[in-house]
Amino acid sequence: MIGRIDLDRLIFLDESGVSTQMTRLYARCTGGARIHETTPDGRWKILTILGAISTRGMIATMTIEAATDREIFLAYLDEVLCPQLRPGDVVGFEEPSYSGTLDTIAALGMVAEPIALDDSGPLPRSVEAALRTGVRAIILTPRAQNPTGAAFDRKRVAALRELLARHPGVLIIEDDFAGPVAGAPALTVCDRARERWAVIRSVSKALGPELRIALLTGDPVTSARVEGRQRLGPRWVSHVLQEALAVMWSDKKIAAMVRALRPGGLARQARGSRCSRMSWFIRSLTA
């Protein structure tokens, strides 16, 4: 197996570090004599060094004044190492698709592999063809697909699950951006048996874009990568907005309004009262 891998594609990671606690406390000497030694100033100071080496030499190094844990290592992979990797990983996407998806794939230096779809979502034969090209990830929209409006049905989900089960290492990302106002039931091709997966559900379409909150679940590694990325960016989601979302979810009137929403005039009529209620709630929290 290793003999078939291009050596220029191999990257070796290593970690090392030093600590002020590494100073020796005891030593040997002749009887009756003293040994004098200097020690660093400060208690429990740690410096960790992470690095990657390839046939091109050192390509990514990072130092941090802390011990390495899972989040730090994943942040190193995401923020330091990955930008140094060669572009060319293949990502499957629905065709036609939201232009922002294509922009993101291109910005990351990835290769976009189109997947045909019909009213029930991606066609299994097209997904299978994309898998044969060696896609590393596939982005799917389970309902209210933009711009076609396609939505999964149970038969299509069963066919896709059977197909994707033969490729557990491919990352499946489901973008359920419309959520409960999509006009279709919530179906997914992901489950805990998959090695790599993530399902994202936004509340912006149902409860207002001002919330800017989405829920994410996925496998432990993918979820940890997202958490690590957040720690290097915004680090947190507004507690005020989280409390606003919790109150709106528990409000029976708003729940009934969301259930009644369909694409068209009703959503437009409800938007004003929905936003004004959220604005009132935020003002009450910050008063």
pLDDT at 43 over 70: no
Of 56, 105, 48, 51, residue with least CA distance to 81: 51
What's the gap between Cα 133 and its chain centre?
A: 23
- Domain positions in the chain are 2-25+37-84, 90-202
> What is the distance between the terminal CA atoms of the chain, rounded to a whole angstrom?
64
Three-state DSSP at 263 gives: coil
pTM: 0.64
**Which of the two residues, 212 and 42, has the higher pLDDT score?**
212
pLDDT, averaged across the chain: 77
**Which of the two residues, 151 and 256, has the higher pLDDT score?**
151
pLDDT digits (tens, 9 = 90+) for 242-266: 888 888 888 888 888 887 765 443 3
| Token duo for residue 265 | 């005039």
Regarding the domain delimited by 90-202, which CATH topology (the fold level of the hierarchy) does it fall under?
Aspartate Aminotransferase; domain 2 (3.40.640)
Which of these ranges, 64-73, 102-111, 218-227, 247-256, has the smallest mean pLDDT? 64-73
* Residue 187 pLDDT class (50, 70, 90 cuts): very high
pLDDT at 63 over 60: yes
**Which of the two residues, 140 and 24, has the higher pLDDT score?**
140
Q: Which whole number is the average pLDDT over 223-234?
A: 72
The pLDDT value recorded for residue 70 is: 58
The pLDDT value recorded for residue 123 is: 96
The pLDDT value recorded for residue 262 is: 55
Q: How far is CA 228 from CA 4, 12, 59, 69, 236, in A?
A: 33, 21, 21, 11, 11
pLDDT at 121 over 50: yes
pLDDT digits (tens, 9 = 90+) for 83-119: 555 677 778 888 888 777 777 778 777 788 899 999 9
Q: Which whole number is the average pLDDT over 123-133?
A: 93
pLDDT at 205 over 50: yes
**Residue 48: which residues within 8 A CB-CB, separation 6 or more?**
15, 16, 17, 63, 64, 65, 66, 67, 68, 72
